[in-house]
Amino acid sequence: MNNKYLQPPYRPKEEADHQPDPEKEEGPDDHYLPPRKTVHPTEKEKWLPYFYRSLLWIFILLVAGLSVWGWKLVMM
């Protein structure tokens, strides 16, 4: 059996012993990104008044429709 596929890949000596330079390491503050919520605010606050207003109008129309229907049944 050929064992060349089971051996780890060859790396030059200088690359294998290379330690990262602590001065060049990037800290968490080097690439700070703000939270997604601040960059892309939700539209929930924008649509909430329209939603509640539509619920109110649906309720008003339902009460009016049932009142008219009941009035017609009573007058028969």
d(CA 42, CA 38): 9
The pTM of this model reads: 0.47
Whether 76 shows a pLDDT value over 70: the answer reads yes
Domain boundaries, the chain: 42-76
7, exposed or middle or buried, with CB in 10 Å at 0-12, 13-18, 19+?
exposed
For the segment 7-45, what is each residue's pLDDT rounded down to a tens digit?
666 666 665 555 655 556 555 566 788 888 888 888 888
Bigger pLDDT: 59 or 20? 59
